[in-house]
């Protein structure tokens, strides 16, 4: 039997949005602090990109005028970013994601529907990614407590200011 746990801090979206209302600089400082705390997970994800997965990915590809490739290890590493999403229907609030289009295609090709690219890259389950997801989940344990503490401290500051 497998066991899973999730950390849920209620009111994170409200806290981040309230920071912007109090002082936009507070929200910027929050993001900078969250990025610093998430540094080990971001670094772990960046370290996973060591080579071009398929030789054909080194060449230019475009679809309907949108440039998708070439894949480059340097762009893959620099594409790993922390994003804060406070939209109403957002699944997560503090996310580590891949911004480079070629690397995002590599990470997710073939997970929704089987296709030639996904077959060449290997199986990836629905809702999973090839490299970034496993790397971030391994590094996640080291940053969860610090992130939770920072969020609770920030919520206390917001309550005090309001």
Distances from the Cα of 108 to the Cα of 9, 30, 119, 132, 157, angstroms: 28, 30, 12, 10, 39
Q: How confident is the model at residue 2 (pLDDT cuts 50, 70, 90)?
A: very low
Q: Which is higher by pLDDT, 8 or 15? A: 15
Angstrom distance (rounded) from CA 45 to CA 97:
9
> pTM for the whole thing?
0.79
What's the pLDDT tens digit per position in 143-157? 888 988 988 888 887
Angstrom distance (rounded) from CA 80 to CA 141:
19
Q: How confident is the model at residue 162 (pLDDT cuts 50, 70, 90)?
A: low
- Percentage with pLDDT > 90 across the chain: 17
Q: What is the 3-state secondary structure of 47-98? A: HCCCCCCCHHHHCCEEECCEEEECCCHHHHHHCEEEEECCCCCCCCCEEEEE
What's the pLDDT tens digit per position in 54-109? 887 788 888 888 888 888 999 999 999 999 888 888 778 888 889 998 888 888 88
Q: Return the pLDDT at 10.
A: 55
Structure tokens at 103: 């690397």
3-state SS class at 145: helix
- Percentage with pLDDT > 70 across the chain: 93
Is residue 37 within 8 Å of residue 48, measured between CB atoms?
Answer: no
Domain boundaries, the chain: 12-161
């Amino acid at each position: 039997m497998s066991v899973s746990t999730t950390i849920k801090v209620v009111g994170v979206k409200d806290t981040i949005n309230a920071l912007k209302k109090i002082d936009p600089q507070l929200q910027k400082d929050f993001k900078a602090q969250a990025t610093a705390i998430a540094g080990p997970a971001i670094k772990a994800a960046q370290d996973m990109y060591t080579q071009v997965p398929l030789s054909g990915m080194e060449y230019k590809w475009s679809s309907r005028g949108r440039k998708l490739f070439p894949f480059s290890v340097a762009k893959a590493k620099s594409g790993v970013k922390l994003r804060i999403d406070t939209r109403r229907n957002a699944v997560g609030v503090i996310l580590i994601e891949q911004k480079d289009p070629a690397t995002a295609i590599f990470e997710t090709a073939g997970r929704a529907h089987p296709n030639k690219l996904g077959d060449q890259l290997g199986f990836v389950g629905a809702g999973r990614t090839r490299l970034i997801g496993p790397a971030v989940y391994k590094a996640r344990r080291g940053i969860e407590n610090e992130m939770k503490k920072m969020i609770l401290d920030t919520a206390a500051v917001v309550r005090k200011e309001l």
